[in-house]
Amino acid sequence: VEFDGPCMKTEVPGPRSKVTQWINVNFFCDYEESKGNYLVDVDGNRMLDVYTQIASIPIGYNHPALTKVMTDPKNMGTFVNRPALGMMPPEQFSEKLVNGLMAVAPKGFSRVQTMACGSCSNENAYKAIFIWYRVRAGVLSFFFQVPGCPDLTLLSFMGGFHGRTLGCLATTHTKAIQKLDVPSFDWPIAPFPQLRYPLDQFERENAREEARCLEEAEDLIVKWNQKGRHVAGVVIEPIQAEGGDNHASFDFYRKLRGITKKHGCAFLVDEVQTGGGSTGKFWAHAHWGLDDPADIVSFSKKMLTGGYYQKDSFQPDKPFRIFNTWLGDHTKNLLLTEVIKVIKTENLLDQAKRSGKVMLEGLYDLQDKYPHLLSKARGIGTFCAIDVKDEDTRNLLLLKARNKGVVLGGCGTQSIRFRPALVFKEHHAHLFLDIFNDAIAEL
Amino acid sequence: VEFDGPCMKTEVPGPRSKVTQWINVNFFCDYEESKGNYLVDVDGNRMLDVYTQIASIPIGYNHPALTKVMTDPKNMGTFVNRPALGMMPPEQFSEKLVNGLMAVAPKGFSRVQTMACGSCSNENAYKAIFIWYRVRAGVLSFFFQVPGCPDLTLLSFMGGFHGRTLGCLATTHTKAIQKLDVPSFDWPIAPFPQLRYPLDQFERENAREEARCLEEAEDLIVKWNQKGRHVAGVVIEPIQAEGGDNHASFDFYRKLRGITKKHGCAFLVDEVQTGGGSTGKFWAHAHWGLDDPADIVSFSKKMLTGGYYQKDSFQPDKPFRIFNTWLGDHTKNLLLTEVIKVIKTENLLDQAKRSGKVMLEGLYDLQDKYPHLLSKARGIGTFCAIDVKDEDTRNLLLLKARNKGVVLGGCGTQSIRFRPALVFKEHHAHLFLDIFNDAIAEL
Ligand code: FES
Per-residue pLDDT of A119-170, as tens digits, reads: 999 999 999 999 999 887 655 444 334 445 578 999 999 999 999 999 999 9
Facing residue for A145 by CB, picked from B79, B165, B176: B176
Tell whether B7 lies on the interface with A, counting CB pairs under 8 A: no
Q: What is the DSSP letter of B36?
A: B
Cα–Cα separations (whole angstroms), residue B101 to A242, B156, B333: 31, 26, 8
Strand order in the sheet with A374-380: A374-380, A383-388, A415-418, A409-411
Residue B376: phi, psi to the nearest 5?
Answer: 60, 35
pLDDT at A21 over 90: no
**B18 has a chain A CB within 8 A of its CB:** no
Chain A contact probe: residue of B59, B180, B315 with most A CBs at under 10 A:
B180
Within 6 Å (CB) of ligand 1, which residues are found? A 116-117, 119-120; B 116-117, 119-120
Q: Is the pLDDT assigned to residue A53 strictly greater than 70?
A: yes
Q: What is the mean pLDDT of residues A359-387?
A: 98
Q: What is the mean pLDDT of residues B401-421?
A: 97
Restricting to B residues 48-67, those with a Cβ less than 8 Å away from any Cβ of A are 53-54, 56-57, 61-63, 66-67
Q: Is A295 a catalytic residue?
A: no
Q: Got the DSSP string for B347-378?
A: THHHHHHHHHHHHHHHHHHHHHH-TTTEEEEE
pTM summary value = 0.96
Q: Do B145 and A78 touch (CB under 8 A)?
A: no
List the one residue out of B333, B338, B378 whose CA is nearest residue B360. B378
What average pLDDT is seen over chain A? 93
- For CA atoms A396, A399, A404, A405, the dihedral sign is positive
User: Which residue type does B167 have?
Assistant: G
* Percentage with pLDDT > 70 across chain B: 96
Of B94, B126, B183, the CB nearest to A185: B183
Element (H, E) at B48: strand B46-49
Q: From residue A395, how far is each of A6, A398, A443, B113, B409 by CA, in Å?
A: 21, 5, 11, 27, 53
Residue type, A178: Q
pLDDT tens profile B265-284 = 999 999 999 999 999 999 99
Q: What is the pLDDT of residues B179-213, one digit of tens each?
A: 888 999 999 999 999 999 999 999 999 999 999 99
Q: Is B250 left (phi over 0), alpha (psi -120 to 50) or beta?
A: alpha
Among residues B62, B72, B9, the alpha carbon closest in space to that of B38 is found at B62
How far is Cα A163 from Cα A117, in angstroms, rounded to an integer? 10
Could you tell me the pLDDT band of residue A316, with boundaries at 50, 70 and 90? confident
CB B409 within 8 A of CB B54: yes
pLDDT at A143: 37
Mean pLDDT of chain B: 94
Max CA pair span of chain A = 67
* Chain B residue with the nearest C-alpha to that of A65: B80
Cβ pair B324:A119 closer than 8 A: yes
Q: Which amino acid is at A1?
A: V
Contact yes or no for B170 and A165 at CB 8 A: no
Instruction: Verify whether the Cβ–Cβ distance A176 to B20 is below 8 Å.
Output: no
Which residue, B37, B157, B109, is CA-closest to B283? B109
Would strands A38-40 and A111-115 be described as parallel, antiparallel, or unpaired? Answer: unpaired
pLDDT at B21: 63
Region A373-397: mean pLDDT is: 98
Q: What is the mean pLDDT of residues A235-259?
A: 98
Question: Are A418 and A385 spatial neighbours (Cβ–Cβ below 8 Å)?
Answer: yes
Q: What percent of chain B has pLDDT over 90?
A: 84
Q: Can you say how many angstroms the Cα of residue A28 is from the centroid of all Cα atoms in its chain?
A: 24
Closest chain B C-alpha to A53 CA, distance in angstroms: 5
Q: Catalytic one among B43, B49, B270, B387? A: B270
Mean pLDDT in residue range A317-344? 93
Distance (Å, whole) CA B114 – CA B300: 10
Selecting among A130, A157, A161, A424, the annotated active-site residue is: A161
Task: Give the residue among A410, A222, A165 at the shortest CA–CA distance from B130.
Answer: A165
Nearest-angstrom CA–CA distance, B192 and B212: 10
B215: part of which helix (H) or strand (E)? helix B203-226
Mark whether B270 is an active-site residue: yes
Strands A306-310, A111-115: parallel, antiparallel or unpaired by DSSP? antiparallel
Q: What is the pLDDT of residue A140?
A: 44
Report which ligand 1 atom has the smallest distance to the Cα of A165: 1
* Listed range (B30-39, B114-123, B137-146, B219-228) with the worst mean pLDDT: B137-146
Q: Residue B23 above 80 pLDDT?
A: no
Distance from CA of B226 to the nearest CA of A (A): 18
Evaluate if residue A94 carries a pLDDT over 90: no
Note whether B30 contacts A324, CB cutoff 8 Å.
no
Q: How close A8 gets to chain B, by Cα (Å)?
A: 17
CB A134 within 8 A of CB A179: no
pLDDT tens profile B354-385: 999 999 999 999 999 999 999 999 999 999 99
Q: What angle do CA A296, A217, A130 make, to 5 degrees?
A: 40
Give CA–CA dist A156/B76, Å, rounded: 40
Active-site entry in B261, B318, B325, B368: B325
Residues of B (107-146) whose Cβ lies below 8 Å from A: 116-120, 123-124, 126-127, 130-131, 133-135, 141, 143-146
Give mean pLDDT, residues B341-349. Answer: 98
Cβ of B74 within 8 Å of Cβ of A116? The answer is no
- Out of A56, A85, A119, mutate this one to test ligand 1's pocket (max ligand atoms within 8 Å of CB): namely A119
Residue A138's pLDDT is what? 59
Beta strands in A251-398 (DSSP E): 266-270, 296-299, 306-310, 374-380, 383-388
Count of other CB atoms within 10 angstroms of residue B397: 23
| Distance between A139 CA and the closest CA of chain B, angstroms | 10
Atom from ligand 1 closest to the CA of residue B115: 4
pLDDT band, residue A176 (cuts 50/70/90): confident
Decide if B74 touches A, using CB distance below 8 A: yes
d(CA A190, CA A216): 6
DSSP state letter for A328: S
How does A28-41 read in b/e, with b if 16+ C-beta sit within 10 Å? bbbbbbbbbbbbbb
> Which of B41, B166, B301, B336 to mutate to test binding with chain A, by most A CBs within 10 Å of its CB?
B166
CB-based contacts of B85, cutoff 8 Å, min separation 6? B93, B114, B326, B327, B328, B330
- List pLDDT tens digits, range B78-95: 899 999 999 999 988 888
Q: In this structure, are strands A266-270 and A296-299 parallel, antiparallel, or unpaired?
A: parallel
Q: What is the pLDDT of residue A325?
A: 95
Q: Do A331 and B331 touch (CB under 8 A)?
A: yes
Q: Which helix (H) or strand (E) holds A129?
A: helix A118-136
CA dist B300 and B164 (Å) reads 14
> Cβ neighbours of residue A389 under 8 Å, at least 6 residues apart?
A372, A373, A374, A375, A414
CB B372 within 8 A of CB B389: yes
Residue A24 touches chain B, beta carbons under 8 Å: yes
What counts of helices (H) and strands (E) characterise chain A? 13, 14
Judged against a pLDDT cut of 80, whether residue B325 lies above it is answered with yes
- Which of B260, B257, B252, B270 lies closest to B232, judged by CA? B260
Residue B392 burial class via C-beta count within 10 angstroms: exposed 0-12, middle 13-18, buried 19 and up: exposed
Ligand 1 centre distance from Cα of residue A385 (Å): 28
Phi, psi (rounded to 5 degrees) for A83: -80, 155
Contact A313, A268 (CB under 8 A): no
Residues of A within 8 A of B179 (CB-CB) are 146-149
Helices (H), A227-291: 250-262
**Burial bucket for residue A119 (CB in 10 Å: 0-12, 13-18, 19+):** buried
Mean per-residue pLDDT for A212-216? 98
Q: Which of B109, B130, B157, B161 is catalytic?
A: B161
Is B301 one of the annotated active-site residues of the chain? Answer: yes
HSE-CB at A206 with a 13 A cutoff on CA atoms is 17
| DSSP three-state, residue A31 | coil
The residue of B47, B50, B67, B81 whose CB has the most chain A CBs within 10 angstroms, and thus the best one to mutate to test that interface, is B81
Is B149's pLDDT higher than 80? no
- B397 in Cβ contact with B440 (< 8 Å): yes
